[in-house]
Amino acid sequence: TSSSDTFIRAELISFARDPGDGNTPEPGSLEHYGDGLLWLKGQHIHAVGHFAELSPSLPKGADVLNYRDKLIMPGFIDTHVHYVQLDIMASYGRQLLDWLNDYTFPEECRFANHAHAEALSNAFLDEMLRAGTTTAQVFGSSHPGSVDAFFTACQKRQLRMLVGKVLMDRNAPEALMDGVSGIADSERLIEDWHGNGRLGYSVTPRFAPTSTKTQMDAAGALLRNDPTLWLQTHLAENSGELDWVAELFPGSRDYLAVYEEAGLVGPRSTFAHGIHLDNGMRKRLADRGANIAFCPSSNLFLGSGLFDREAAKQTGMTYTFASDIGAGTDLSGFGTLKAAYQVGQLGGQPLTAWQGFYGLTMGNAKALSLDSHIGQLAPSLEADFVVIDTQATSLLSRRINHCTTLGERLFALMMLADDRAIYETWAGGQCQHRRDK
């Protein structure tokens, strides 16, 4: 033991694997310690277990943080979010294509200014940590400096983050289009940042309508050249978008084929939305091991449609949970799960709390191929976790105290909790955020 050891006594909840769709988690999937001990060594988790079982092995005089009235879970993960859109959340009344033109593109132009990119990177990370999110896959703007600023801000806080510069060489304002420099700038960012500590690069063609075939092919070449890179883009979100893609790519049999032909569909690829897909496309995504980022608050806000989780399950297609700020209305993982439950109800497929919290942690980590680092409270994983205060508000406290089972408590949290319930957020073994009293 050394001064780098931290001991926390709290209720601990984590998932070793998918709990299934039942009302109770499948045996071996849930790890729950009502009176648990989380033992950190430096940036990693050293041991996890029942306090009574682990306490004999604690060093004499160990300083144990007493969080017995709190609930600790792995840090929440957001697989699709635009940090550059923080300031245009809640922009009224448009569906996707008008929303992009009227609000999004003008806002993203501001990131040519490096001071602005730095300020927004820090503001965004403050909000993420306040909401209990420790890892995200993030869109910058098309300016490479927006990604330098973001990585720099993440590095200061020891966060595990994926981000990429938007590639966009047509059908966008002049000031946002990159042309041939887009790929060279991506290569430079990969060289500087990919695999640097906890940071990773996600190749980021915005979506098929704003990249030429040439640019998408070049993005595919980057991925072939380095299979440790991630890929993020958008797919089949909105009906106007579908018509536009069909018009722009008459030779491709469907929207997904456009990405397949460029070599963009693989096990490290995340496609945001995937609402308007058929089972053939879902199976093709499943075969390649790609995932769809389900962004329920965004889909409701832009009126895009209802994601079909049941079809995903039937076809073996992996889906993840994401906020999609600035079209999303909630940075909080709780808020994302609440919206996912509501979308599910409209399709006769209500989301269980087990699926929800598994998804937000281990499920999202696995889909991003990050589960050997994060997503679970387990020895040797990185010490990224949230300390949840289930008594944060009088209403939450009343409701939680009315629950008799863990499943009910988690469901009440998923529907009623927000950033006020995040007491602390830890990353890399250190407390990075503590709620104001």
Site residues, ligand GUN (CB under 6 A): 82, 96, 100, 104, 206-207, 234, 237, 298, 324, 327
Q: Which does 207 bind (CB under 5 to 8 A by kind): ligand GUN, Zn ion, none?
A: ligand GUN
Q: Which is nearer to Zn ion, 260 or 324 (CB)?
A: 324
Judge contact between 418 and 332, C-beta under 8 A.
yes
Q: Which is nearer to Zn ion, 265 or 387 (CB)?
A: 265
Q: Which is nearer to ligand GUN, 71 or 272 (CB)?
A: 272
Q: Among candidates 202, 197, 198, 206, which has minimal Cα distance to 241? A: 206
Q: Which is nearer to ligand GUN, 78 or 384 (CB)?
A: 78
Smallest gap from Cβ 221 to ligand GUN, in A, equals: 22
Element (H, E) at 298: helix 296-301
Smallest gap from Cβ 328 to ligand GUN, in A, equals: 8
Tell me the one-letter amino acid at 128.
Answer: M
Smallest gap from Cβ 233 to ligand GUN, in A, equals: 8
Q: Of the candidates 38, 272, 362, 365, which one interacts with Zn ion according to CB under 5 A?
A: 272
Judge contact between 181 and 214, C-beta under 8 A.
no
Smallest gap from Cβ 417 to ligand GUN, in A, equals: 25
Q: Which does 128 bind (CB under 5 to 8 A by kind): Zn ion, ligand GUN, none?
A: none
Between CA 381 and CA 353, with CA 434 as vertex, the angle to 5 degrees is 60
Q: DSSP for 178-235?
A: -TTHHHHHHHHHHHHHTTSTTEEEEEEE--GGGS-HHHHHHHHHHHHH-TT-EEEEEE
Options 186-194, 318-326, 391-399, 415-423: segment touching Zn ion (CB under 5 A): 318-326
Alpha carbons 345 and 151: distance in angstroms, whole number: 38
Smallest gap from Cβ 15 to ligand GUN, in A, equals: 28
Residues in 344-373 at the binding interface with Zn ion, rule: CB under 5 A: none
Q: Which does 376 bind (CB under 5 to 8 A by kind): Zn ion, ligand GUN, none?
A: none
Alpha carbons 207 and 195: distance in angstroms, whole number: 25
Q: Which does 104 bind (CB under 5 to 8 A by kind): Zn ion, ligand GUN, none?
A: ligand GUN
Options 20-28, 246-254, 324-332, 426-434: segment touching Zn ion (CB under 5 A): 324-332
Peptide bond into 326 cis (omega under 30): yes
Q: Which is nearer to Zn ion, 324 or 389 (CB)?
A: 324
Smallest gap from Cβ 230 to ligand GUN, in A, equals: 17
Smallest gap from Cβ 167 to Zn ion, in A, equals: 14
Judge contact between 204 and 223, C-beta under 8 A.
no
Q: Which is nearer to ligand GUN, 6 or 85 (CB)?
A: 85
Helix axes 144-156, 181-193, angle to 10 degrees: 10
Smallest gap from Cβ 63 to ligand GUN, in A, equals: 46
Smallest gap from Cβ 89 to ligand GUN, in A, equals: 12
Judge contact between 287 and 278, C-beta under 8 A.
no
Q: DSSP for 339-364?
A: HHHHHHHHTT-PPPHHHHHHIIIIIH
Q: Which is nearer to ligand GUN, 329 or 352 (CB)?
A: 329
Residue 408: partners with Cβ closer than 8 Å, 6 or more residues away: none
324 binds Zn ion (CB under 5 A): yes
* Number of residues engaging Zn ion in binding (CB under 5 A): 2
Q: Which does 237 bind (CB under 5 to 8 A by kind): Zn ion, ligand GUN, none?
A: ligand GUN
Q: Is 377 helix (H, G, I), strand (E, B) or coil?
A: coil
Residue 87: partners with Cβ closer than 8 Å, 6 or more residues away: 107, 120, 326
Alpha carbons 422 and 403: distance in angstroms, whole number: 20
Smallest gap from Cβ 224 to ligand GUN, in A, equals: 24
Q: Among candidates 413, 387, 388, 419, which has minimal Cα distance to 400? A: 413
What does residue 42 show for φ and ψ, rounded to 5 degrees?
Answer: 60, -125
Judge contact between 323 and 296, C-beta under 8 A.
no
Q: Which is nearer to Zn ion, 272 or 413 (CB)?
A: 272
Q: Which is nearer to ligand GUN, 222 or 327 (CB)?
A: 327
Q: Which is nearer to ligand GUN, 138 or 392 (CB)?
A: 138
Point out which residues bind Zn ion (CB under 5 A): 272, 324
